[in-house]
Amino acid sequence: MVTQILLFSVAIFCSFNLEARSRAVCESSSECQDAMSKVLVQSHGLSSSNQKRVSNTGAVFIRDTSVPALGEAFRDPSGLIWGDIVRAQDAVKLMNGVRAEDYCQAAGVRLPESEEFERLAEYLGQGTSLGYSPFLADGKTDFLSGLSDNFFWSGTASGFDVFVNRYVFYGADGGIRIGHRFQHLLAVRCVSGP
Protein backbone atom coordinates (compact mmCIF):
# COMPACT_ATOMS: atom_id res chain seq x y z
CA MET A 1 0.00 0.00 0.00
CA VAL A 2 2.84 2.41 0.89
CA THR A 3 4.53 1.56 -2.41
CA GLN A 4 1.31 2.32 -4.31
CA ILE A 5 0.98 5.68 -2.56
CA LEU A 6 4.60 6.56 -3.36
CA LEU A 7 4.20 5.56 -7.02
CA PHE A 8 0.96 7.52 -7.22
CA SER A 9 2.65 10.62 -5.70
CA VAL A 10 5.60 10.38 -8.09
CA ALA A 11 3.26 9.98 -11.07
CA ILE A 12 1.18 13.01 -10.07
CA PHE A 13 4.33 15.08 -9.44
CA CYS A 14 5.75 14.10 -12.84
CA SER A 15 2.44 14.90 -14.53
CA PHE A 16 2.24 18.38 -13.00
CA ASN A 17 5.95 18.99 -13.63
CA LEU A 18 5.54 17.96 -17.30
CA GLU A 19 2.44 20.14 -17.60
CA ALA A 20 4.31 23.18 -16.19
CA ARG A 21 7.28 22.64 -18.51
CA SER A 22 5.08 22.22 -21.59
CA ARG A 23 3.25 25.48 -20.76
CA ALA A 24 6.59 27.30 -20.44
CA VAL A 25 7.89 25.96 -23.76
CA CYS A 26 4.85 26.50 -25.94
CA GLU A 27 1.63 28.26 -25.09
CA SER A 28 0.17 28.48 -28.59
CA SER A 29 1.26 25.41 -30.53
CA SER A 30 -1.66 23.02 -31.06
CA GLU A 31 0.75 20.08 -30.81
CA CYS A 32 1.79 21.19 -27.33
CA GLN A 33 -1.83 21.83 -26.36
CA ASP A 34 -2.65 18.23 -27.33
CA ALA A 35 0.28 16.92 -25.27
CA MET A 36 -0.84 18.95 -22.26
CA SER A 37 -4.39 17.62 -22.60
CA LYS A 38 -3.09 14.05 -22.61
CA VAL A 39 -1.04 14.69 -19.46
CA LEU A 40 -4.07 16.15 -17.69
CA VAL A 41 -6.22 13.17 -18.68
CA GLN A 42 -3.56 10.73 -17.46
CA SER A 43 -3.13 12.51 -14.13
CA HIS A 44 -6.91 12.61 -13.66
CA GLY A 45 -7.07 8.87 -14.40
CA LEU A 46 -4.37 8.22 -11.80
CA SER A 47 -6.14 10.24 -9.14
CA SER A 48 -9.54 8.64 -9.70
CA SER A 49 -8.48 5.03 -10.36
CA ASN A 50 -8.45 4.19 -6.65
CA GLN A 51 -11.72 6.04 -6.04
CA LYS A 52 -14.00 3.79 -8.06
CA ARG A 53 -14.15 0.37 -9.64
CA VAL A 54 -16.32 -0.55 -12.60
CA SER A 55 -17.40 -4.17 -13.08
CA ASN A 56 -17.66 -5.97 -16.40
CA THR A 57 -21.41 -5.22 -16.34
CA GLY A 58 -20.82 -1.49 -15.83
CA ALA A 59 -21.75 -1.46 -12.13
CA VAL A 60 -19.80 1.33 -10.42
CA PHE A 61 -18.44 0.82 -6.90
CA ILE A 62 -17.28 4.06 -5.24
CA ARG A 63 -14.55 4.11 -2.58
CA ASP A 64 -16.12 4.92 0.78
CA THR A 65 -14.25 5.90 3.94
CA SER A 66 -17.33 6.72 6.05
CA VAL A 67 -16.96 3.53 8.15
CA PRO A 68 -13.30 3.29 9.27
CA ALA A 69 -13.80 -0.24 10.67
CA LEU A 70 -14.28 -1.53 7.11
CA GLY A 71 -10.80 -0.53 5.91
CA GLU A 72 -10.55 -0.06 2.13
CA ALA A 73 -14.25 -0.16 1.37
CA PHE A 74 -16.42 0.34 -1.70
CA ARG A 75 -20.10 1.33 -1.93
CA ASP A 76 -22.06 -0.72 -4.48
CA PRO A 77 -24.92 0.71 -6.60
CA SER A 78 -27.48 -0.33 -3.95
CA GLY A 79 -25.67 1.71 -1.26
CA LEU A 80 -24.17 -1.27 0.59
CA ILE A 81 -20.57 -0.66 1.68
CA TRP A 82 -18.31 -3.70 1.21
CA GLY A 83 -15.38 -3.72 3.62
CA ASP A 84 -11.92 -5.05 2.98
CA ILE A 85 -11.18 -8.72 3.65
CA VAL A 86 -10.18 -9.16 7.31
CA ARG A 87 -6.42 -9.61 7.67
CA ALA A 88 -3.95 -10.22 10.45
CA GLN A 89 -0.30 -9.38 9.77
CA ASP A 90 -0.94 -9.09 6.00
CA ALA A 91 -2.48 -12.58 5.78
CA VAL A 92 -6.17 -13.38 5.35
CA LYS A 93 -7.64 -14.10 8.79
CA LEU A 94 -9.83 -17.20 8.72
CA MET A 95 -12.52 -17.58 11.37
CA ASN A 96 -15.38 -19.88 12.21
CA GLY A 97 -18.88 -18.47 11.70
CA VAL A 98 -19.44 -17.54 15.33
CA ARG A 99 -16.19 -15.54 15.55
CA ALA A 100 -16.95 -13.90 12.18
CA GLU A 101 -20.34 -12.67 13.44
CA ASP A 102 -18.77 -11.44 16.69
CA TYR A 103 -15.93 -9.72 14.84
CA CYS A 104 -18.24 -7.69 12.59
CA GLN A 105 -20.65 -6.84 15.42
CA ALA A 106 -17.80 -5.64 17.66
CA ALA A 107 -16.72 -3.30 14.84
CA GLY A 108 -20.26 -1.90 14.56
CA VAL A 109 -20.93 -3.55 11.19
CA ARG A 110 -22.33 -6.92 10.09
CA LEU A 111 -21.80 -9.93 7.86
CA PRO A 112 -23.39 -9.66 4.41
CA GLU A 113 -26.60 -11.64 3.87
CA SER A 114 -26.56 -14.37 1.20
CA GLU A 115 -28.88 -12.21 -0.97
CA GLU A 116 -26.30 -9.40 -0.86
CA PHE A 117 -23.59 -11.80 -2.02
CA GLU A 118 -25.91 -12.92 -4.83
CA ARG A 119 -26.41 -9.28 -5.86
CA LEU A 120 -22.61 -8.77 -5.76
CA ALA A 121 -22.23 -11.76 -8.09
CA GLU A 122 -24.82 -10.21 -10.44
CA TYR A 123 -22.90 -6.92 -10.44
CA LEU A 124 -19.83 -8.96 -11.41
CA GLY A 125 -21.60 -10.68 -14.33
CA GLN A 126 -23.37 -13.73 -12.83
CA GLY A 127 -26.34 -14.65 -15.02
CA THR A 128 -25.29 -12.39 -17.90
CA SER A 129 -23.76 -13.18 -21.28
CA LEU A 130 -20.51 -11.65 -19.97
CA GLY A 131 -20.20 -14.29 -17.27
CA TYR A 132 -19.03 -13.87 -13.69
CA SER A 133 -15.57 -12.43 -13.08
CA PRO A 134 -14.13 -11.55 -9.64
CA PHE A 135 -11.43 -9.44 -11.35
CA LEU A 136 -10.98 -5.91 -12.62
CA ALA A 137 -10.57 -5.40 -16.38
CA ASP A 138 -6.90 -6.47 -16.22
CA GLY A 139 -8.03 -10.02 -15.42
CA LYS A 140 -5.58 -10.28 -12.50
CA THR A 141 -6.55 -7.79 -9.78
CA ASP A 142 -9.45 -8.80 -7.53
CA PHE A 143 -12.48 -6.51 -7.84
CA LEU A 144 -12.61 -6.55 -4.03
CA SER A 145 -9.42 -7.66 -2.27
CA GLY A 146 -9.16 -11.41 -1.72
CA LEU A 147 -12.39 -12.08 -3.61
CA SER A 148 -11.15 -14.58 -6.20
CA ASP A 149 -9.70 -17.21 -3.90
CA ASN A 150 -11.75 -17.30 -0.70
CA PHE A 151 -15.00 -18.53 0.80
CA PHE A 152 -16.78 -15.83 2.85
CA TRP A 153 -19.25 -16.14 5.71
CA SER A 154 -22.72 -14.69 5.31
CA GLY A 155 -25.07 -13.79 8.12
CA THR A 156 -27.84 -15.94 6.64
CA ALA A 157 -28.77 -19.24 8.31
CA SER A 158 -29.35 -22.11 5.92
CA GLY A 159 -32.67 -23.94 6.00
CA PHE A 160 -31.08 -27.28 6.84
CA ASP A 161 -30.04 -26.47 10.41
CA VAL A 162 -30.46 -22.79 11.26
CA PHE A 163 -28.36 -23.01 14.43
CA VAL A 164 -25.36 -24.80 12.91
CA ASN A 165 -25.23 -23.88 9.21
CA ARG A 166 -24.74 -20.57 7.41
CA TYR A 167 -24.66 -19.81 3.72
CA VAL A 168 -21.19 -18.97 2.42
CA PHE A 169 -20.09 -17.21 -0.75
CA TYR A 170 -17.32 -18.57 -2.95
CA GLY A 171 -15.64 -15.62 -4.63
CA ALA A 172 -13.97 -17.65 -7.38
CA ASP A 173 -17.25 -18.62 -9.05
CA GLY A 174 -19.87 -16.40 -7.36
CA GLY A 175 -21.70 -19.40 -5.94
CA ILE A 176 -23.50 -19.85 -2.63
CA ARG A 177 -22.75 -22.92 -0.52
CA ILE A 178 -23.33 -24.09 3.05
CA GLY A 179 -20.77 -23.84 5.86
CA HIS A 180 -20.74 -25.28 9.37
CA ARG A 181 -20.45 -22.20 11.57
CA PHE A 182 -18.56 -23.98 14.38
CA GLN A 183 -16.12 -26.07 12.33
CA HIS A 184 -15.28 -24.32 9.05
CA LEU A 185 -12.66 -21.59 8.97
CA LEU A 186 -13.46 -19.06 6.24
CA ALA A 187 -12.62 -15.48 5.24
CA VAL A 188 -14.60 -12.53 6.57
CA ARG A 189 -15.75 -9.37 4.82
CA CYS A 190 -18.04 -7.08 6.83
CA VAL A 191 -20.55 -4.66 5.35
CA SER A 192 -22.48 -1.57 6.37
CA GLY A 193 -25.59 0.01 4.96
CA PRO A 194 -29.07 -0.83 3.83
Instruction: Quick: pLDDT tens for 64-102.
Output: 999 999 999 999 999 999 999 999 988 999 999 999 999
Give domain 53-192's CATH number out of 3.10.100.10, 2.130.10.10, 3.40.640.10, 3.30.70.930: 3.10.100.10
Provide Rg for the chain, Cα atoms.
21
Q: What is the pLDDT of residues 30-59, one digit of tens each?
A: 444 444 333 333 333 333 457 999 998 999
The full set of domain ranges for the chain reads 2-48, 53-192
- Based on the number of CB atoms within 10 Å of its own CB, is 116 exposed (0-12), middle (13-18) or buried (19 or more)? buried
Q: At 20, phi and psi to the nearest 5?
A: -65, -45
Helices and strands in the chain, H and E counts: 4, 10
Is the entire prediction scored with pTM above 0.85?
Answer: no
DSSP of 150-191, one letter per residue?
-EEEEEEEPSS-TTTEEEEEETTTTEEEEEETTT--BB-EEE
